[in-house]
Amino acid sequence: MADLFPYEEREKLSEKIISLFKNKNLYVTFGISGTDAVEIAIKTLFLYTKKEKIISFKNSYHGLSMGTIPLTNLKHFQNPFRKFLKNYSIEFEFPEKEEELEKLEKKLKKLNPSKIAGIILEPIQGRGGIKVPPRGFLKILYEFCKEKEILLVIDEIFTGFSKTGKDFCFQYEIDFPDILCLGKALGGGFPISACVGKKDIMKVWKVKGDPLYASTFLTHPLSIISSLYFLELYKKEKTLEIVKEKEKIFKKYLYELKDSNKIKDIRGKGIMWGIEFKEEKFALKIWENLIQKGFLTLLEGEKKNVLSFVPSLYFSEEKLKEIISHIKNSLRM
């Protein structure tokens, strides 16, 4: 019943989360998983705007519940459920090159905003294949949303807490979106997520009678305490400096592979990196070889051909060197 009866630590956690941002006029709603945080964001869009469509991006990942799959534009997750899904998503291309921004602006200009409740995006796509958009992307969406009174939702469940070299990736370009989704690292290993929204938007949840959002284990005290402890450590550690150092290490070793004719691209930011292989079969082989050597990595992207590295802040240079040497050996196969 922790979700119904607020207690001191839970309130403290809300305050601590808000203290991470310049904008203090915020309200935090907690979830158990990242998917929950996105669900809350989706419902907030519908409740607040009364409009029915949400723009999301190709290759995006926002969770796998029936509410979030329409926005998770990876077909292998959507297709088995397609005929049961309520399709409120309008899919846009996720720009990867600067020249694609112009196309995006043109498409936005043509859009009739009367049905659009919001736009949701990851500032760098994680499970979609570590895709880094060109600078200016967020600003374009931010300005568009402000002008058309559409809500901007940024999903930093993956990128949040300094993975990309800023506390939150949106801070490279904008002050604060209308709604921000946080998860993963937030719980310090325990299940908790947060949907952080501007107060005047989040007040739509205040209704008489039964709460519109509740769940048995929501804001479980262990998760709250773990998250409070994580945030305390996060403030103490010089995380951004560590990430800058680690980014240099990533560049040094990953770029050694750049000339291989089996590799299409190497990209990333901070401690979030991906190697895109030309052939899916080859990517799978490399991934299997790494597992056998005891290194757990993931294959991302629609084609599962992007080997991703999103390690803990404290990974050692030696380990990365070892991984790269295994990949080099496989590339010679």
Ligand X SMILES: Cc1ncc(COP(=O)(O)O)c(C=O)c1O
Q: Is 33 in the site for ligand X (CB under 6 A)?
A: yes
- Considering the complex, state which of residue 33 and residue 305 has its C-beta at the smaller distance from ligand X: 33
Answer yes or no: are the C-beta atoms of 173 and 142 closer than 8 Å.
Answer: yes
Answer yes or no: are the C-beta atoms of 159 and 192 closer than 8 Å.
Answer: no
Task: State the DSSP H helix or E strand holding residue 179, giving kind and residue range, or none if neither.
Answer: strand 179-182
Answer yes or no: are the C-beta atoms of 228 and 28 closer than 8 Å.
Answer: no
- Considering the complex, state which of residue 193 and residue 327 has its C-beta at the smaller distance from ligand X: 193
Q: Is 187 in the site for ligand X (CB under 6 A)?
A: no
The nearest distance, CB 138 to ligand X, in angstroms, is 15
Residue type for position 155:
D
Q: Which of 3, 39, 155, 247: binder of ligand X (CB under 6 A)? A: 155
Answer yes or no: are the C-beta atoms of 183 and 34 closer than 8 Å.
Answer: yes
- Considering the complex, state which of residue 63 and residue 311 has its C-beta at the smaller distance from ligand X: 63
Under 8 Å CB-to-CB from 279, ≥6 apart: which residues? 262, 305
Q: Is 158 in the site for ligand X (CB under 6 A)?
A: yes
- Considering the complex, state which of residue 61 and residue 277 has its C-beta at the smaller distance from ligand X: 61
Nearest to 267 by CA among 292, 301, 240: 301
Q: Which of 74, 108, 124, 157: binder of ligand X (CB under 6 A)? A: 157
Q: Is 39 in the site for ligand X (CB under 6 A)?
A: no
- Cβ burial of 293 (10 Å; 0-12, 13-18, 19+) is exposed
Compute the distance between CA of residue 223 and CA of residue 228 in angstroms, rounded to an integer: 9
Q: Is 164 in the site for ligand X (CB under 6 A)?
A: no
Q: Which of 53, 127, 131, 220: binder of ligand X (CB under 6 A)? A: 127
Site stretch for ligand X (CB under 6 A), options 33-41, 200-208, 233-241, 293-301: 33-41
The nearest distance, CB 195 to ligand X, in angstroms, is 11
Range 42-101, binding ligand X (CB under 6 A)? 61-63
- Considering the complex, state which of residue 180 and residue 231 has its C-beta at the smaller distance from ligand X: 180
Task: Count interface residues toward ligand X (CB under 6 A).
Answer: 14
The nearest distance, CB 158 to ligand X, in angstroms, is 4
Site stretch for ligand X (CB under 6 A), options 155-163, 239-247, 250-258, 294-302: 155-163
- Considering the complex, state which of residue 155 and residue 276 has its C-beta at the smaller distance from ligand X: 155
- Considering the complex, state which of residue 44 and residue 253 has its C-beta at the smaller distance from ligand X: 44
Q: Which of 122, 167, 247, 276: binder of ligand X (CB under 6 A)? A: 122
CA atoms within 13 A on the CB side of 321: 4
Widest CA span in the chain? 66
What residues pair up with 53 in beta bridges, in sequence order? 116
What residues pair up with 155 in beta bridges, in sequence order? 181
Which SS3 state, helix, strand or coil, does residue 66 take? coil
Range 246-305, binding ligand X (CB under 6 A)? none
Task: State the DSSP H helix or E strand holding residue 307, giving kind and residue range, or none if neither.
Answer: strand 306-309
Q: Which of 2, 34, 133, 170: binder of ligand X (CB under 6 A)? A: 34
Compute the distance between CA of residue 320 and CA of residue 39 in angstroms, rounded to an integer: 36
- Considering the complex, state which of residue 44 and residue 327 has its C-beta at the smaller distance from ligand X: 44
The nearest distance, CB 91 to ligand X, in angstroms, is 16
- Considering the complex, state which of residue 34 and residue 270 has its C-beta at the smaller distance from ligand X: 34
Nearest to 92 by CA among 79, 76, 77, 109: 109
Tokens 């090159």 sit at which residue? 97
Compute the distance between CA of residue 220 and CA of residue 52 in angstroms, rounded to an integer: 33
Residues in contact with ligand X by CB under 6 A are 33-35, 38, 61-63, 122, 126-127, 155, 157-158, 183
